[in-house]
Structure 1
Amino acid sequence: METPRLPEPLRARAEALAARSPLETVRDFLRGHVTDADDMEEIRSGLQQVAQVSTRGLDQELAAVESVLAEPLPDGTLARLIGWDANWVLDDPSDAGAAAFLRELADMIREVLAAAR
């Protein structure tokens, strides 16, 4: 990301965010958009509000979710990600159930982004 016109503190923050691993980005996304939500519609509403201001962060978060789903991770990683970081209780709390939940979130982000553009 090009940031030469930003003041140094903002440029440093943008660079730090861009340097995060996909797993860290997904963790932050879950903590910011899922943890306190009561249901999927509340998550969608929050994402739509974000997209009204800027889609850049959602683009990065979608890429991170897709990356996490595509890379091999140690057993239990996805389950902990959803159970702990998202504070979300799944009917199937396994990695497979967590992956299905993340795919649903990715689809939701795609839909929100498509509507915002």
Structure 2
Amino acid sequence: METSRLPEPIRARMEALAARSPIEAVREFLRDHVTDSDGLEEVREDLYLVGRVSTLGLHQDLAAIESLLAEPPSSPGTLARLVGWEANWVLDDPSDAGAARFLGDLAQLLREVIDEVER
């Protein structure tokens, strides 16, 4: 996206969002779109509404989740705490492996929403 013609505050916000670490981006995604939802269908509806305006943020969120899953944090329990605390989501398997599966499901949901709104 060409940003040189955007107002400075918008450009600065876009740069700040792009500079976040994957774990920070995923943390913010979970807080913004997953916490307080009644299920993945509600998350899907929220993401669809966001994507109808712009998919840029959804692409960034997807990249962050994929990056985090490709190189998970080395500290045990980090993914489990991320999902449990930031998403306020109770997993059947509250381990890092269970959290990774949940994040993988969210990544797939993001892919589907992006595909649907970009068609």
> Which TM bucket (shorter chain)?
over 0.9
Question: Map of 1:48-87 to 2, 5 A cutoff?
Answer: 48-73=48-73, 74-87=75-88
Question: Map of 1:27-106 to 2, 5 A cutoff?
Answer: 27-73=27-73, 74-106=75-107
| Structure-2 separation of matches of 1:44 and 1:28 | 16
| Structure-2 separation of matches of 1:16 and 1:109 | 22
In structure 1, list runs of 5 or more residues that go unmatched.
none
In structure 2, the partner of 1:7 is 7
In structure 1, the partner of 2:113 is 112
1:37 counterpart SS class: coil
Q: Which amino acid aligns with 1:43?
A: V
Number of aligned residue pairs: give it.
117
- Tell me the TM-score normalised to structure 2 length: 0.94
- Give 1:2 shift: 4.2
Deviations along 1:64-84, one digit per CA (max 9) or x if unpaired, are 000000103111110010000
The 4+ residue runs of structure 1 with deviation greater than 6 A are none
Question: Map of 1:10-29 to 2, 5 A cutoff?
Answer: 10-29=10-29
- Give 1:103 shift: 0.5
